[in-house]
């Protein structure tokens, strides 16, 4: 075993993941498709550490709390099972997601952790196996293992992983309107939706339909169709969530204003399509050449950032490590730790 470090990025889904058919193995009720971003990376170092009796987690230079640590330890149990090892480790993770950017870091976090831990435990995993492993930490993490556009097959345990899909080059303008905490976590909301929404079964079957249309639109490079499915599917996910009993709503007035503005821009010839994960912030899909103009138009409505397709999870060269907490205690970047690896990811 050896100390290893990996890096991964969050993703934003164009066909959303909402609902599990197996909570324990994190098997989704339907497939999904996302863009792994070129920003907001998470870097994670796994250090095998002698004869410790428990795993340790440090997030952004601070010791994590018991709940966060427990979630990581449960994930590492899967790695240990694969490796036939009982070794406990220190996990040091650093998120570059700005506080409240509205990009939950569980996808990048578990993609980076899976990649680093697999190597630390001397597992020789191919990309599908690495994606499957990341999935056990957080469903959408399996997509962040893959560069650019990734499709996550619902599948059974073996076949439920993400792989690349050919697609035209695109950008997203992320508009951050809210820096607060969600009223309810995605994980809890997802469970409540499946348990109480009368629309849930139809959501599952129609999502499979949307995914198959989206994969075809990506492969044929049909940006308009990609955009239409993206916006329609995002609004349908929020509709589904709103139909939970009692209702759950993630979109704020400012979020709705962005959807309205995007529709208006579109009718004026700037072709763009809005989507939102389980939170109030909105990501707007656009052709590369229109990204700057779109960002300018949306600038009044929140903090904007242009992102594009990014790399999959990658090992970093030996010698690059996330520093230990003790060395950083005084300079820990406040705020991001609580948004860290244990926060539920986007849909």
CA distance linking residue 65 with residue 145, whole number of Å = 26
Please, what is the minimum distance in Å from the beta carbon of residue 201 to its own copies?
7
Contact between 253 and its own copies per CB under 8 A:
yes
Contact between 292 and its own copies per CB under 8 A:
no
Contact between 181 and its own copies per CB under 8 A:
no
* Residue 171 near residue 288 (C-beta atoms within 8 A): yes
Please, what is the minimum distance in Å from the beta carbon of residue 12 to its own copies?
19
Compute φ and ψ for 77, nearest 5 degrees: -60, -35
Contact between 259 and its own copies per CB under 8 A:
yes
Nearer to its own copies, 242 or 303 (CB): 242
Per-residue binding string, its own copies, 223-252, x by CB under 8 A, is: -----x--xx--xx-xxx-xx-xxx-x-xx
CB atoms within 10 A of CB 78: 17
Q: Is 217 left (phi over 0), alpha (psi -120 to 50) or beta?
A: alpha
Burial class (CB in 10 A: 0-12, 13-18, 19+), 53: exposed
Contact between 304 and its own copies per CB under 8 A:
no
Contact between 257 and its own copies per CB under 8 A:
yes
Strand partners, 63: 58
Please, what is the minimum distance in Å from the beta carbon of residue 202 to its own copies?
4
Binds its own copies by CB under 8 A, chosen from 201, 221, 323, 335: 201
CB atoms within 10 A of CB 284: 29
Beta strands 56-59; 89-95: pairing state: parallel
Residues that bind its own copies (CB under 8 A): 198-199, 201-203, 205-206, 209, 228, 231-232, 235-236, 238-240, 242-243, 245-247, 249, 251-254, 256-257, 259-260
């Amino acid at each position: 075993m050896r100390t290893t470090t990996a890096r991964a990025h969050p993703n934003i889904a164009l066909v959303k993941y909402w609902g599990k058919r197996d909570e324990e193995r994190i098997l989704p009720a339907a497939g999904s498709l996302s863009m792994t971003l070129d920003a907001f990376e998470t870097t994670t170092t796994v250090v095998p550490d002698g004869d410790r009796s428990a795993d340790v987690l440090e997030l952004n230079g601070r010791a994590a709390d018991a709940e966060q640590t427990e979630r990581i330890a449960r994930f590492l149990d899967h790695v240990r099972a694969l490796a036939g090892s009982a070794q406990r480790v220190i996990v040091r993770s650093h998120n570059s997601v700005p506080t409240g950017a509205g990009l939950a870091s569980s996808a990048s976090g578990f993609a980076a952790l899976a990649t680093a831990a697999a190597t630390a435990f001397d597992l020789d995993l191919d990309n599908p196996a690495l994606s499957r492993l990341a999935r056990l930490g957080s469903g959408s993490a399996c997509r962040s293992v893959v560069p650019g556009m990734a499709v996550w097959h619902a599948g059974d345990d073996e076949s439920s992983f993400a792989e690349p899909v050919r697609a035209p080059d695109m950008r997203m303008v992320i508009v951050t309107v809210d820096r607060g905490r969600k009223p309810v976590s995605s994980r809890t909301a997802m469970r409540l939706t499946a348990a109480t929404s009368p629309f849930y079964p139809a959501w599952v079957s129609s999502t499979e339909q949307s995914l198959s249309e989206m994969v075809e639109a990506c492969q044929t490079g049909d940006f308009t169709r990609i955009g239409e499915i993206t916006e329609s599917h995002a609004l349908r996910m929020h509709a589904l969530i709103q139909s939970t009993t009692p209702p759950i709503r993630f979109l704020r007035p400012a979020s709705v204003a962005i959807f309205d503005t995007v529709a208006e821009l579109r009718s004026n010839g700037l072709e763009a399509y809005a989507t939102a994960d389980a939170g109030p912030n909105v990501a707007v899909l656009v052709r590369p050449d229109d990204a700057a103009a779109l960002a300018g138009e949306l600038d009044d409505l929140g903090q904007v950032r242009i992102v594009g397709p990014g790399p999959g999870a990658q090992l970093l060269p030996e010698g690059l490590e996330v520093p230990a907490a003790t060395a950083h205690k005084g300079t820990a970047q406040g705020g991001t730790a609580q948004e860290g690896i244990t926060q539920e990811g986007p849909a």
